[in-house]
Structure 1
Amino acid sequence: MATPGRTMTQPMHPAATLVSGLAATRGVLEARIRELDAEVAHLRDARLQELEAKERLADRLARLVQALPAGVVVLDGRGVVREANPVAIDLLGEPLLATPWRGVIARAFHPEPAGADLKLNDGRLVTLQTCPLGQEPGQILLLQEVTEARRLQSRVEQTRRLADMGRMAANLAHQIRTPLASALLYTSQLNRPQLPDEKRQEFVAKALGRLRDLERLITDMLAFSRGEVGDGDYFAPQLCLESACEPFRESCAAREIRLRLEGQGADGLVRGNPTLLKSALHNLIHNAVQSIDGPGEVRVYAAVKDNAVDLVVEDNGRGVPAAAQAQLFEPFATTRRDGNGLGLAVVRAVARAHGGEAFYEPLPVGSRFTIRLPLAATRADARRAVGAE
């Protein structure tokens, strides 16, 4: 029995305990839901801001592409034009969008190349650069018109050459007068009736030699002053090497100088003036032969490297003094007492007129001179450059 005056605690019903636990859990879940809602809202705002920033960047890039002074063309993985800015449309014409790049080449590009540049059918010159799209298949093409730049380069180069010749007019007069005076001296002896036939033939040969020197000097002067080849023809540079070597065969054999022509298998064509290039090679071979005092060797060959061909003349002669190497290709710079100083200047002018360059390299014994010319591009080369084939 219960003791009077004392209260007994009743135990909680199981259902009430469950309800109380569910209420507590609900509170925790609702608090967690509010936290997740806040996080989702924050992430959504951040994502929206990121998308807006990307849209602004894309808009700026699109405006930049439209404003670029160069043509921009976007190709998909099948080589079809998907995008093009106004400059590209102006250069390549329409239709352009949704057109296979191969068809654009056939329609817009001239089949004959222009040195290292590409020529459009309207005569304008452009350069072409490519880069991949990145993660997606396709390419971006960048076309830069260089017509006016090439014209200005040509005019500046010609002006520089004419200025050089103007500054050295007195030197030229001396160079012309010397062989001319010698020729006159020898021919004046031919009127002597008592002159033996042997001497007469000797004077004739010497007079002709001086006149040929004068002819070569005038030819070099004209080649240097012009320094341009126009559109020119396609030809194998190896043929120029063979033609340039031929006049030296007899004189080299007489002096025990071995003239070696190598690289007959060198492939590739260049575009320009083969006669002018032969004259430049003739100057290099002439210098090489003159640099050898006794028996020696002159090696002439062609070698294709990447998109260029090197025409090389090597000798084991005296070489070029270190003090003279810096001005070696400057007009009227010479290391020989009987030199006119135009031979190597003509070599460089001819090389540059063909879109190339001339180089000198000292060897342990002798010298190496190189004319590097770009190989002629074709329409197929332009297709391969952008992966359209």
Structure 2
Amino acid sequence: MPVVATTGAQAAAPGGAPLDAAQLAEAFALFSRASEELSTAYNALQAQVGQLTERLSVLMEALPAGVLVVDRAGSVVQANRAAENLFGGMLGGRTWAQLAARLEDSGTPGEYVLATEDPGATVGGRAADLRRLALSESELDSGAERILLVHDITDTHRMRLTAERNERLAAMGEMVAGLAHQLRTPLAAALLYTGNLRQPELDPAQRAMVADRALERLRYLERLIRDMLLFARGDSAGRQRFAVCELLAELAHTLEPVARARQVAFTADCGCGEAELVGDRKALGGALTNLLENGIQACEMGGTLHCEAALVAPAHSGLGVAAVRFSVRDSGRGIAPELQERLFEPFFTTRAEGTGLGLAIARGVARAHGGDITLRSTPGQGAEFTLVVPLAAGSNGAQENP
């Protein structure tokens, strides 16, 4: 069979038949139109990307919060003006580890204290040292970069502390009349007993008994005034890191003899491993002591009191973060529903010798540490007080409980 040669202007059709010049020209025209449409669409897309980029840049600069974009290696690849004002100077090329080294744990989860590199520097005309920051982090779906959002909450924190203090002072103002009665009664008793000491006909045994009763009333006054000052101040004087189980062991060692003297079986159990808290150890210990002493007072002879510390996952803590839950459960008479909320009111008490400030102070201490106290009780079935406070950042604890 003879071989037929084709010219350069011909090409094979899909079915094997050669394309003529007209078909080839039409194919090139279609390709050209498609290429122009793709080019136009690409240019339009580039313009949209440029507009979005510009809008994003304007938005980042307008945000009052600091925004930092950190790459996989930990370097800051982008930062807005607010972030540069907070940390001082240009941040591009610096590492997040260098900036994070200036953040100190405030004791509240997600909040930090920023120490400035220049003690004389200012932010917005105010001293730049000891700024309080809230930090949150989000990772991109690609995992190549993460975005850090930094809020300056210094003024908010100050306003929160002021509001809490004003609330406590307002509560004290509402209780002035009751407080006067609280002070007058034991003071009058102490004066009466002291006056009796001047009677010459008293024998030594009677004189000693009257003196003891006078001292008892004066000690009650001292305790009442101390509790008033604690409630009015309401802050935590110290910030230290301490182990949960060590605190519970110390409380158990202190309260066990008191419970034994009242013939109450007292047990304590800590399931927190090496978990730690950050805060005022003395204040937290005092709050828990108050709950334990109330539990002992509520128990009849032969009753039981159990204290337990456990780790709680963020989803179950009620605080949104990992926390430590202290539970104090007694076998006493229980608390009527109409009294349960009032127990935390200042100067409200169901005991003749109570000042009515213990539970109010305990709740104030818990809230000052970012936590709270709740009560669950059924009349005739005892009561359970639960104090929950956030776990210290970076704490190595045992398995969390729901």
Tell me how far 1:29 sits from its aligned partner: 4.1
Tell me how far 1:227 sits from its aligned partner: 1.0
Closer, same or farther in 2 for the Cα pair 1:203/1:259, shift >3 Å?
farther
Tell me how far 1:145 sits from its aligned partner: 1.0
Match of 1:50 in 2: 45
Q: Structure 1 counterpart of 2:361, which letter?
A: V
Q: Which SS does the other structure have where 1:319 is aligned?
A: coil
Q: Which SS does the other structure have where 1:102 is aligned?
A: helix
Does 2:136 match 1:120?
A: no
The aligned runs of 1:1-40 (5 Å cut-off) are 25-40=20-35
Tell me how far 1:303 sits from its aligned partner: 2.6
Tell me how far 1:246 sits from its aligned partner: 5.2
Contact kept? 1:358, 1:371, Cα under 8 Å: yes
Structure 1, 115-124 or 231-240: larger mean CA deviation: 231-240
Q: Distance in 2 between matches of 1:214 and 1:90?
A: 53
Q: Distance in 2 between matches of 1:183 and 1:246?
A: 34
2:218 pairs with one of 208, 211, 223: 211
Q: Structure 2 counterpart of 1:309, which letter?
A: V
Structure 1 unaligned blocks of 5 or more:
1-18, 382-389
Tell me how far 1:238 sits from its aligned partner: 4.5
Alpha-carbon RMSD: 3.2
Match of 1:296 in 2: 303
The aligned runs of 1:50-69 (5 Å cut-off) are 50-69=45-64
Match of 2:103 in 1: 109
Match of 2:287 in 1: 280
Q: Distance in 1 between matches of 2:330 and 2:204?
A: 39
Closer, same or farther in 2 for the Cα pair 1:193/1:38, shift >3 Å?
same
Match of 2:338 in 1: 323
Structure with max Cα Rg:
1
Tell me how far 1:72 sits from its aligned partner: 1.1
Tell me how far 1:264 sits from its aligned partner: 8.0
Contact kept? 1:83, 1:97, Cα under 8 Å: yes
Tell me how far 1:129 sits from its aligned partner: 0.8
Contact kept? 1:234, 1:269, Cα under 8 Å: yes
The aligned runs of 1:170-249 (5 Å cut-off) are 170-193=177-200, 195=202, 200-230=207-237, 232-245=239-252, 248-249=255-256
Tell me how far 1:71 sits from its aligned partner: 0.9
Q: Distance in 1 between matches of 2:25 and 2:345?
A: 89
Tell me how far 1:350 sits from its aligned partner: 1.4
Q: Which SS does the other structure have where 1:43 is aligned?
A: helix
Structure 2 unaligned blocks of 5 or more:
1-9, 116-128, 314-321, 397-402
Q: Structure 2 counterpart of 1:100, which letter?
A: T
Tell me how far 1:78 sits from its aligned partner: 1.2
- What's the TM-score, normalizing by structure 2? 0.78
Q: Distance in 2 between matches of 1:296 and 1:78?
A: 60
Tell me how far 1:148 sits from its aligned partner: 0.9
Offset from partner CA, 1:155-176 (integer Å, 9 cap, x none): 0110110011011100111112
Closer, same or farther in 2 for the Cα pair 1:334/1:39, shift >3 Å?
farther
Tell me how far 1:237 sits from its aligned partner: 4.8
Q: Which SS does the other structure have where 1:139 is aligned?
A: strand
Match of 1:3 in 2: none
Closer, same or farther in 2 for the Cα pair 1:94/1:183, shift >3 Å?
same
Match of 2:121 in 1: none
Q: Distance in 2 between matches of 1:208 and 1:236?
A: 38
Q: Distance in 2 between matches of 1:267 and 1:127?
A: 27
Q: Distance in 2 between matches of 1:342 and 1:241?
A: 23
Q: Structure 1 counterpart of 2:161, which letter?
A: S
Contact kept? 2:272, 2:311, Cα under 8 Å: no
Tell me how far 1:205 sits from its aligned partner: 4.3
Match of 1:6 in 2: none
Q: Distance in 2 between matches of 1:245 and 1:185?
A: 39
Higher RCO (CA < 8 A, seq sep 6+): 1
Counting helix residues as a fraction of each chain, which structure ranks higher? 1
Q: Structure 1 counterpart of 2:99, which letter?
A: V
- What's the TM-score, normalizing by structure 1? 0.80
Closer, same or farther in 2 for the Cα pair 1:265/1:141, shift >3 Å?
closer
Q: Distance in 2 between matches of 1:68 and 1:95?
A: 17
Match of 2:173 in 1: 166
Quote the sequence identity (%): 36
Offset from partner CA, 1:130-188 (integer Å, 9 cap, x none): 11122142321111111111111000110110011011100111112233333334444
Match of 2:262 in 1: 255
1:152 pairs with one of 159, 183, 196: 159
Match of 1:359 in 2: 374
Q: Distance in 2 between matches of 1:196 and 1:241?
A: 47
Q: Which SS does the other structure have where 2:165 is aligned?
A: helix
Q: Which SS does the other structure have where 1:221 is aligned?
A: helix
Q: Distance in 2 between matches of 1:261 and 1:179?
A: 36
Q: Which SS does the other structure have where 2:34 is aligned?
A: helix
Match of 1:5 in 2: none
Offset from partner CA, 1:89-125 (integer Å, 9 cap, x none): 121224522122222223x334x54433211112111
Q: Which SS does the other structure have where 1:119 is aligned?
A: strand
Contact kept? 1:245, 1:282, Cα under 8 Å: no
Closer, same or farther in 2 for the Cα pair 1:234/1:136, shift >3 Å?
closer
Q: Distance in 1 between matches of 2:177 and 2:244?
A: 36
Contact kept? 2:271, 2:310, Cα under 8 Å: no
